[in-house]
């Protein structure tokens, strides 16, 4: 097990997949000569050449569509959209073509593309560079959505996504590329479905994904140390399809649920997990589930306002204490 | 399949007449409510796809288009029975009943589909061309779209990339003068569509889209250019659709005099009259050809669609994701 930064894990996955299969290509803005905005493709242009590590013009919808068209013939494009905010521009090709082409062709065509994009609230990037779009993508039938919370997942999910015959959207976080963690030395394919128990506990389940897993883990430590509350943390690395069985299993164990998301509450992951809890295990609950979400505002520039707009471990702690009537 | 000899021309005349009668029969089936959804018909534009594809290799070269796609699918080699069955929503349809009129697919014949977002296929065609280059084949990618698609961002974004990367893709603009109900000069600053790609350094040509032989001659050069890996090429074919944009269109926005003018330049009649003048066929031959076509449509194609089974409701969720679940679990 080597420890590495998340960007290094993503870069390693790119490198290994490019080396394994000549049909794998990488495309996006500044992914080539510049090595990628977050270094996810550093050195790969030199190693695999401009035909396979392709610097695109700033034309998100069309370079995404180009990758999708290539995938019809068996090319395996890894498309980087520099910031998830720009994925709104590519939504037509992602939702109308990649996600639907297998279905509307009666199974004749498939679009095995990987679309990676960092989102989330980072360093005062303002309203148009702080989107959290996972809720948009997870509502699209025919598209898989995964979101890594650590370097191991970032590495293994990308490798699996490249080999998957479905289009996969990988939701990364701008804040997390320097996050360090262990990644297996040998090749590792992470499943694209399921969830992981990041911390075992008895009293309450904290559901998180991506950055909010870390808030949950921090909150769980404090709740254990300061209040004697034993939290389970479930990492929902797969957002579509969500792990219904895994969600129900943990709720059946702890009987209480808090869902923590960096995105706004309406139509989000929290809403969906709550619905699943209702449908799968309502009678296991000892208390109504709670969401800890961002405020429903465009993200402001001012640092204090920006931090106030999104949750943090303190808010998770407070939510758990309220839930337990403390 | 070149359009050089008298026999070629008779064959293409028959194919174009078949296309006309097929679409007219679709119209009837739609009125009878046998066909649902939106239906965009091709009469008037037959010389476009036939002229271009005679210069290409149907079933070998990849073709992609918009929602006015029935005849493009058939020209690539898709069985007209499977097209009609698809319009009827049947399991024997070329998209198994999951696509409909706007989403015909026949990947075996390299017809890569009809897509219903105007301008959507521009980058898909460029991507197919990129894949061809990577795989080292001799195929080319051919994209047929209407003039109004050129007002989408994907047109400009894709022309830029196709030219930059010298992709083997032929863009065919079937300029029928209307984007849904809006005439081209009311929506588009530059009416001559071939001029719009000069900013991307793509060779372009404007051709009489009612004369299948003129289309063919121009397409020979275009296809040769693209197949020689000299980069993309753009053809503008001046044409006219006889019916409205779709069946839900009253077609009231077009001056009758304009319609009459174009009907005097019918692509089928132009080719027929040339063959008659050349002594290659008589009006009786033509009538016989027409009767045979009508007979085939009425007694083989429509009954096939009528009698075919519906897709099964149990299969509603089939094809949403891949069947193999290797990537799902550890």
Q: Which of A183, A207, A232 is the last residue of a domain?
A: A183
Residues of B in contact with A64 (CB under 8 A): 123
Q: Would you say residue A190 lies in a domain?
A: no
Q: Are residues A246 and A272 in the same domain?
A: yes
Virtual CA dihedral for B52, B57, B61, B67, nearest 10 degrees? 40
Burial environment of residue B227 by CB neighbours within 10 A (0 to 12, 13 to 18, 19 or more): middle
Q: Are residues A149 and A222 in the same domain?
A: no
Distance from CA of B64 to the nearest CA of A (A): 10
Instruction: Please tell me if residue A39 touches chain B, with a CB cutoff of 8 Å.
Output: no
Boundaries of domain holding A153 = 2-183
- In terms of CA atoms, which chain A residue is nearest residue B115? A97
Q: Are residues A178 and A208 in the same domain?
A: no
Q: Are residues A257 and A280 in the same domain?
A: yes
What is the band of B249 on the pLDDT scale with cuts at 50, 70, 90?
confident
Instruction: Please tell me if residue B122 touches chain A, with a CB cutoff of 8 Å.
Output: yes
Instruction: Please tell me if residue B326 touches chain A, with a CB cutoff of 8 Å.
Output: yes
- Spatial distance between the Cα atoms of A171 and A166, rounded to a whole number of angstroms: 16
Which of B252-259's residues contact partners 24+ apart within 8 Å by CB, and which partners?
B253/B178, B253/B181, B253/B182, B253/B183, B254/B178, B254/B183
Instruction: Please tell me if residue B37 touches chain A, with a CB cutoff of 8 Å.
Output: no
Q: Are residues A277 and A210 in the same domain?
A: yes
Q: Which of A183, A207, A228 is the last residue of a domain?
A: A183
B141 and B125 Cβ atoms separated by less than 8 Å = yes
- Quickly count: other Cβ atoms within 10 Å of residue B259's Cβ: 13
What is the band of B251 on the pLDDT scale with cuts at 50, 70, 90?
confident
Average pLDDT over residues B69-76: 98
Q: What 3-state DSSP class applies to A168?
A: strand
Q: Are residues A12 and A152 in the same domain?
A: yes
pLDDT at residue B330 in the model: 53
Reported as a single tens digit per residue, the pLDDT across B189-229 is: 999 999 999 999 999 999 999 999 999 999 999 999 999 99
A277, HSE (Cβ side, Cα atoms, 13 Å): 28
Q: Are residues A262 and A155 in the same domain?
A: no
Q: Are residues A145 and A17 in the same domain?
A: yes
Average pLDDT over residues B30-57: 97
**Which parts of A141-192 fold into alpha helices (H)?**
151-163
**To the nearest whole percent, how much of chain A has pLDDT over 70?**
100
B109 and B48 Cβ atoms separated by less than 8 Å = no
Average pLDDT over residues B30-58: 97
pLDDT at residue B1 in the model: 72
What tokens appear for A18 in the block?
């490019």
A204 and A229 Cβ atoms separated by less than 8 Å = yes
B64 forms beta bridges with B143
Instruction: Please tell me if residue A68 touches chain B, with a CB cutoff of 8 Å.
Output: yes
Q: Are residues A133 and A167 in the same domain?
A: yes
Chain B, residues 76-105, CB within 8 A of chain A, namely 93-99, 103, 105
- Spatial distance between the Cα atoms of B8 and B2, rounded to a whole number of angstroms: 7
Q: Are residues A277 and A206 in the same domain?
A: yes
What tokens appear for B155 in the block?
């047109």
- Nearest CA-CA partner of B12 in B172, B214, B207: B214
pLDDT at residue B240 in the model: 96
pLDDT at residue B247 in the model: 82
- A166/B321 touch (CB, cutoff 8 Å), yes or no: yes
Can you give the length of chain A in residues? 326
This complex has an ipTM of 0.97
Which member of A65, A93, A142 has the closest CB to residue B320? A142
Q: Would you say residue A27 lies in a domain?
A: yes
pLDDT at B246 over 90: no
Q: Are residues A173 and A68 in the same domain?
A: yes
Average pLDDT over residues B123-150: 98
- Spatial distance between the Cα atoms of B202 and A299, rounded to a whole number of angstroms: 43
- Spatial distance between the Cα atoms of B298 and A251, rounded to a whole number of angstroms: 62
Distance from CA of A99 to the nearest CA of B (A): 8
- Spatial distance between the Cα atoms of B158 and B144, rounded to a whole number of angstroms: 14
Residue B112 Cα to chain centre, angstroms:
11
Burial environment of residue B134 by CB neighbours within 10 A (0 to 12, 13 to 18, 19 or more): middle
Q: Are residues A94 and A168 in the same domain?
A: yes
Q: How many domains does chain A have?
A: 2
pLDDT at residue A95 in the model: 98
Residues of A in contact with B123 (CB under 8 A): 61-66, 68-69, 93
Q: Would you say residue A189 lies in a domain?
A: no
CB pairs under 8 A between A and B: 170
Residues of B in contact with A61 (CB under 8 A): 123, 153-154, 157
**To the nearest whole percent, how much of chain B has pLDDT over 70?**
98
- Nearest CA-CA partner of B23 in B82, B68, B59, B76: B68
Distance from CA of A60 to the nearest CA of B (A): 9
What tokens appear for B67 in the block?
């929602």
- A66/B115 touch (CB, cutoff 8 Å), yes or no: no
Q: Would you say residue A165 lies in a domain?
A: yes
**Rama region for B114: left / alpha / beta (φ>0; ψ in -120 to 50; rest):** beta
B174 and B133 Cβ atoms separated by less than 8 Å = no
- Spatial distance between the Cα atoms of B11 and B185, rounded to a whole number of angstroms: 36
| Active site amino acids of A | 60, 129
- Spatial distance between the Cα atoms of B107 and B90, rounded to a whole number of angstroms: 18
Instruction: Please tell me if residue B166 touches chain A, with a CB cutoff of 8 Å.
Output: no
Q: What averages of pLDDT result for each successive group of 10 residues across chain A (326 residues)?
A: 96 98 98 95 98 98 98 98 97 98 98 97 95 97 98 98 97 97 97 98 98 98 98 98 98 98 98 98 97 98 98 98 95
pLDDT at residue B329 in the model: 62
Average pLDDT over residues B86-103: 98
- In terms of CA atoms, which chain A residue is nearest residue B166? A51
Instruction: Please tell me if residue A197 touches chain B, with a CB cutoff of 8 Å.
Output: no
What tokens appear for B21 in the block?
């009668």
- Spatial distance between the Cα atoms of B198 and B232, rounded to a whole number of angstroms: 12
pLDDT at B326 over 80: no
Mutate to test the interface with B, among A32, A65, A152, A163 (most CBs of B within 10 A): A65
Q: Which of A143, A161, A183 is the last residue of a domain?
A: A183
pLDDT at residue B150 in the model: 97
Instruction: Please tell me if residue A142 touches chain B, with a CB cutoff of 8 Å.
Output: yes
Strand order in the sheet with A24-28: A53-55, A24-28, A76-80, A114-119, A168-173, A144-146, A238-240
Q: Is the CATH number of domain B6-309 3.40.50.1220? A: no
């Amino acid at each position: 097990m080597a420890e590495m930064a998340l960007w290094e894990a993503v870069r390693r996955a790119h490198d290994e997949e490019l080396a394994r299969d000549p049909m794998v290509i990488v495309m996006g803005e500044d992914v080539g000569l510049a090595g990628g905005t977050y270094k996810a493709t550093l050195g790969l242009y030199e190693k695999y050449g401009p035909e396979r590590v392709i610097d695109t013009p700033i034309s998100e919808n069309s370079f995404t569509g180009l990758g999708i068209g290539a995938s019809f013939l068996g090319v395996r494009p890894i498309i980087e959209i520099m910031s998830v905010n720009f994925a709104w521009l590519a939504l037509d090709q992602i939702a109308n073509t990649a996600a639907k082409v297998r279905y509307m062709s009666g199974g004749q065509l498939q679009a095995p593309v990987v679309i990676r994009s960092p989102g989330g609230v980072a360093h005062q990037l303002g309203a148009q560079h702080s989107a959290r779009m996972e809720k948009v993508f997870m509502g699209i039938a025919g598209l898989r959505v995964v979101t890594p919370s650590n370097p191991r997942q970032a590495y293994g999910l990308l490798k699996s996504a490249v080999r998957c015959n479905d289009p996969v959207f990988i939701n990364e976080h701008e804040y997390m590329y320097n996050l360090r963690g262990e990644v297996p030395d040998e090749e590792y394919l992470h499943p694209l479905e399921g969830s992981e128990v990041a911390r075992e506990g008895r009293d309450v389940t904290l559901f998180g994904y991506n950055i909010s897993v870390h808030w949950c883990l921090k909150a769980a430590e404090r709740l254990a140390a300061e209040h004697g509350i034993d939290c389970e943390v479930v990492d929902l690395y797969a957002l579509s399809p969500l792990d219904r069985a895994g969600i129900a299993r943990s709720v059946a164990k702890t009987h209480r649920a808090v869902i923590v998301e960096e995105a706004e509450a309406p139509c989000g992951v929290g809403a969906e997990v709550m619905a699943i809890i209702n449908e799968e295990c309502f009678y296991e609950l000892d208390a109504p589930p709670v969401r800890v979400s961002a405020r429903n505002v465009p993200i402001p520039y001012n640092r204090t306002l920006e931090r106030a707009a999104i949750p943090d471990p303190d808010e998770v702690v407070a939510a758990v204490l309220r839930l337990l009537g403390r | 399949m070149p359009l050089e000899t008298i026999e070629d021309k008779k064959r293409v005349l028959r194919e174009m007449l078949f296309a006309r009668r097929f679409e007219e029969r679709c119209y009837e089936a739609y009125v009878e409510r046998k066909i649902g959804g939106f239906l965009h018909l091709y009469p008037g534009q037959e010389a476009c796809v036939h002229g271009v594809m005679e210069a290409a290799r149907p079933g070998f070269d990849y073709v992609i288009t918009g929602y006015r796609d029935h005849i493009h699918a058939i020209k690539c080699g898709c069985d007209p029975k499977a097209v009609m069955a698809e319009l009827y929503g049947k399991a024997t349809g070329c998209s198994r009943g999951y696509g409909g009129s706007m989403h015909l697919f026949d990947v075996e014949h390299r017809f890569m589909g009809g897509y219903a977002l105007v301008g959507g296929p521009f980058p898909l065609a460029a991507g197919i061309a990129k894949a061809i280059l990577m795989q080292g084949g001799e195929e080319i990618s051919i994209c047929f779209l209407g003039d109004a698609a050129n007002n989408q961002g994907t047109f400009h974004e894709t022309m830029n990339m196709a030219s930059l990367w010298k992709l083997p893709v032929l863009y065919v603009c079937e300029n029928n003068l209307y984007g849904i109900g809006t005439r081209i000069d009311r929506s588009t600053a530059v009416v001559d569509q071939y001029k719009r790609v000069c900013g991307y350094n793509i060779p372009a040509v404007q051709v009489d889209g009612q004369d299948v032989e003129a289309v063919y001659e121009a397409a020979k050069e275009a296809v040769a250019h693209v197949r020689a890996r000299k980069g993309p090429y753009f053809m503008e074919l001046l044409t006219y659709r006889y019916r409205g944009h779709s069946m839900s269109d009253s077609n009231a926005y077009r001056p009758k005099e304009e319609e009459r003018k174009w009907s005097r330049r019918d692509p089928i009649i132009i080719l027929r009259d040339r063959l008659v003048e050349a002594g290659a066929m008589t009006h009786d031959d033509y009538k016989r050809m027409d009767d045979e076509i009508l007979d085939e449509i009425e007694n083989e194609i429509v009954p096939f669609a009528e009698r075919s089974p519906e897709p099964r409701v149990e299969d509603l969720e089939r094809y949403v994701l891949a069947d193999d679940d290797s990537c799902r679990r550890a």
